[in-house]
Amino acid sequence: MKKIFFTALRYPVRASIVALGLMAALTSTAALAATAAASSGAPAPKTGGELVFGLDGAQVSEFILDPANSSFAPHNRVFRSIFDSLVVLKQDQTVGPWLAESWEVSPDRKTYTFKLRKDVKFHDGTPFNAAAVKFNLDRIKEPKNALAALIDLGPYESSEAVNATTLRIKLSEPFEPLLRNLSKTTSGISSPAAIAKYGDTYALNPVGTGPFKLVSLQQGTEIKLARNPDYKWAPVTATHQGPAYLDKLTFRNVPEESTRVAVLQSNQVQAIDGIPPQNFVLFKNDPNYRVYLKELLNNNYGLALNVAKAPWNDEDIRRAFRASLDIDTIVKVIYLGSAPRAWAQLSPSLFGSADKELYRSWKPDLAQAQQILDKKGWVVGKDGIRVKDGKRLTVSFIDTQGNREKRLDVIQLVRRHVAKAGFELTIDSQPAGAYRTKIANLEYDLSAGSQFAPDPDVLRRLFSPEGRAKTSGYKIDDPEITQWLKDGLKENDATKRADIYKKVQRKLVDKVYTIPVYVLLYAIGTTKDVNGLTIDAQGFPEFQGVWLSSRVD
């Protein structure tokens, strides 16, 4: 076996093209806070107090705090405080140790052997060991849990607890994304005993090994956590290895952005995320607040016309729709410089991104859009909307998350732009269940979304019919793209693998399968009393090192 110790992946990381002035300064502030404090002789961290975090959790009616059953970003921002993973993704996008101290990969790259820590236990007092990890991996394969985590394991065949501290994972074929995927929040390790105890209600009673443990949960409203006093197994990226400094950590769902700003300014909470663009510079320039910013490794937020349905199965019509859009203007107007324009599906800092190669690869051209539609027989009606065979050129946009990250504001501007070419865009807002049903039944014209991920294999779960769920808004069935995504799974040469994913992204843009809109920069604002906050390499907040200058009990 070839020994891979701590640095199993060594992919080159291109500096993000969006790290301009303000963004670079803010990111550096978050990353270097602890170092700066130490070098300046700042006070030592204080233990105690409660941090209340105003979470942009959207208009959700329930929290699902089970890593195997929720890929919703706001939930995953809570996961990292409750659950630990086998490995951690470091800032340079190499993989380091966490609950696994080291690992070996067989020459055929189908067997991974992990050496686990001996000193870890779950919040319920039961031991963390190889049997517990095997239970978690096998659980992901259960049909009722077959969400995003299932595809993260790829060709997972089985796992074996060789002894209490040795776990062996067997794959049916090589799967390069495995280690990166095991670092995800959705790969956090749950207590088998708690899952057996709570059954179908486990998502309301999560038990992990993380720096905080659950105290109480009010559905859709509030999650209260308390410090895990036994914690001493933080990842190599942590600012310290012992228990969290905070006594309590509370996540309060505050979906309305102006309310989030108000509760921070009135000190009802000490931190918020999803800072509205119009308040971004205000907080940055106010000495009473601190702002942290980090690019979320991500499939960028983008638009996708339903290519399984006429007229969107016609590439020319899709091209006309895109040509009527001025994405630069939309992003500038909505985000006021707090989020950059996206040119590719993968965020600029993610390994395999084609953002640089696709920069300025197309431009808005209203005249071209109108010419295409004229040629296709879509005639402008009296109200400016085009008609063909008695049918209006209507684009029904389906949504279920409201205006999280100002996404509906984006769609409102999209509506104005495409109307100039003769498209009539309507918004169909649905609760989650109805949304999934309508997506599965192709009862929509346009969808939009993003997907956080530490590996470019995220493209497979979105754009390959073999890898995506029926409830995915992407309905592309392109055999060439599907084959490339299969090739990317097995290729272990970093340069060749990156080239594969860049090729996929070029075709997605060339065929107008998707229209990337913006790169998500995760922003957190805090009062000046909050110290030691960090954001991990994947763009999720870490509270284990947070301490309060003035305790808030």
User: What's the CATH number where 80 sits?
Assistant: 3.40.190.10
What percentage of residues in the chain have a pLDDT greater than 70? 90
pLDDT at 7: 31
pLDDT at 150: 60
Mean pLDDT of 304-322: 98
CB 272 within 8 A of CB 264: yes
User: What's the CATH number where 460 sits?
Assistant: 3.10.105.10
pLDDT at 12 over 50: no
* Together in a domain, 17 and 60: yes
Report if residue 471 sits inside a domain: yes
Report if residue 553 sits inside a domain: no
* Together in a domain, 272 and 363: no
* Together in a domain, 342 and 286: no
- Could you write out the DSSP letters of every residue in 155-191? SEEEEEEEETTEEEEEESS--TTHHHHHTSGGGPPPP
* Together in a domain, 302 and 410: yes
CA angle 195, 199, 201 (to 5 degrees): 105
Task: Write out pLDDT tens, residues 526-546.
Answer: 999 999 999 999 999 999 999
Q: Look over the chain and give the mean of its residue pLDDT values, rounded to a whole number.
A: 90
Report if residue 454 sits inside a domain: yes
* Together in a domain, 83 and 9: yes
Helices 277-285 and 21-39 cross at an angle (nearest 10°) of 40
Confidence label for 41 from pLDDT (cuts 50, 70 and 90): low
Report if residue 452 sits inside a domain: yes
* Together in a domain, 491 and 543: no
| 405 secondary structure, DSSP code | G
The domain of 494 spans 298-519
* Together in a domain, 186 and 286: yes
What are the residues whose beta carbons fall under 8 Å from the beta carbon of 190, sequence distance 6 or more?
66, 67, 68, 83, 136, 139, 202, 206, 207, 208
* Together in a domain, 403 and 538: no
pLDDT at 197 over 60: yes
pLDDT at 61: 67
Task: Write out pLDDT tens, residues 132-171.
Answer: 999 999 998 776 664 545 678 989 999 999 999 999 999 9
Report if residue 484 sits inside a domain: yes
- 480: tokens are 């060439």
Mean pLDDT of 380-391: 96
Report if residue 361 sits inside a domain: yes
* Together in a domain, 405 and 489: yes
Report if residue 151 sits inside a domain: yes
What are the residues whose beta carbons fall under 8 Å from the beta carbon of 123, sequence distance 6 or more?
191, 207, 208, 209, 210, 213, 214, 228
Based on the number of CB atoms within 10 Å of its own CB, is 144 exposed (0-12), middle (13-18) or buried (19 or more)? Answer: exposed
* Together in a domain, 10 and 22: yes
* Together in a domain, 313 and 347: yes
What are the residues whose beta carbons fall under 8 Å from the beta carbon of 542, sequence distance 6 or more?
80, 238, 533, 534, 535, 536
* Together in a domain, 303 and 291: no
Report if residue 407 sits inside a domain: yes
Domain count, the chain: 2
